Amino acid sequence: MLKNVAVILLNGAHPFELGVVCEVFGIDRSDEGLPVYDFAVASAEGPTLTTHAGFTLRTEHGLERLESADLIAVPAGDTYTEREYPPELLDALRRAVDRGTRVLSVCSGVFVLGAAGLLDGRRCAVHWRHAEQLARQYPRTTVEPDVLYVDDDPVITSAGTAAGIDACLHLVRKEQGPEVANRIARRMVVPPHRDGGQAQYIERPLPRSSCDTVGEVLAWMEQHLDQEVTVEQLAARAHMSPRTFARRFQQETGTTPYRWILRQRVLLAQHLLEATDETVDAIAGRTGFGTAAALRHQFMRALGTTPNAYRRTFRGPEAA
């Protein structure tokens, strides 16, 4: 049962991510019949802590507060991706999980869990900017770079900033039911559950070939995304056999011609949804998908959301 919640901080803590956990679990909403949690903020590095925003925080609780918690939350921090952590904190987190306590990270707080060995053999989420670094540092974990959060009980990890709200509300929904989670979300004026993942927020610049072998063909493909082309046609442009062209293309781009052009079509569709008022049908034609149904299918596969939902997210509901 979720009753006792402790947030653990280190120097350089991010106030917003701390505030996310405080907002969900640290406010008395008993006047609405909602649960009241035994909530506290604890420090792993002394009573006074610095923050990423330039002010300090002071708390009376230390690591001893973690011993009675049902949930330990680890918000993000400024240098959490590269710093060393107090061994006593890592020991406390391991003991907590051994006795059945859940741990929840927001954004780069997941690096603390990794240092404690709590990600080994588990799936986890993190802000997309940190996904590659997390995978390198902790190769025994599976990083899910496109999702808002991962629940690999008893370890719950979330992506950047506001995704911590999604993870916290998910845990409330799991432990205390959808009605409680929905009412807390309504008080916070946030959706109780967001569709899609963080894939739709990732910046993906167009890849460039480091070699001239297929460079001219790539440039041509970018300018003719609305056309159907075959490997044989592309190979002819490069004056190669189809087999040699496919091998060279894989070596220089890391993917196949089909997957490359499919990704560029999705990128172009994203740009048109953000920057123009064209209909989804028109955008499907311009990007080579042909029909709105085909565009929706590929958009959902690539980004975990629909074209109209994407447009609402980046341009507001009236645009969609």
Phi then psi dihedrals of residue 132, to 5 deg = -65, -40
Examine the domain organization and report whether 295 and 156 are in the same domain. no
Give the pLDDT of residue 206. 43
Q: What is the CATH number of the domain that holds 236?
A: 1.10.10.60
Q: Same structural domain for residues 48 and 117?
A: yes
Q: Provide the β-strand partners of residue 243.
A: none
Q: How far apart are CA 60 and CA 71, in angstroms?
A: 19
pTM higher than 0.95 for the full model? no
Structural domain that includes position 243: 215-315
The count of domains in the chain is: 2
3-class secondary-structure state, position 24: helix
Confidence (pLDDT) at 313: 75
Residues 227 and 296 in one domain: yes
Q: Are residues 54 and 136 in the same domain?
A: yes
- Is 115 a domain residue? yes
Asked if 223 and 192 sit in the same domain, the reply is no
Per run of 10 residues, the mean pLDDT along the chain (length 320 residues) is 95 95 96 95 96 95 97 94 94 97 97 97 93 94 89 93 90 89 87 65 49 78 90 91 90 85 89 88 93 93 88 68
Same domain, 44 and 160: yes
**Residue 240, pLDDT score:** 92
Strands 56-58 and 48-50, how do they pair?
antiparallel
The CATH number of residue 78's host domain is: 3.40.50.880
* 61 domain-assigned: yes
pLDDT of amino acid 126: 94
Residue 308 lies in a domain: yes
Is residue 302 included in any domain, yes or no? yes
SS3 167: helix
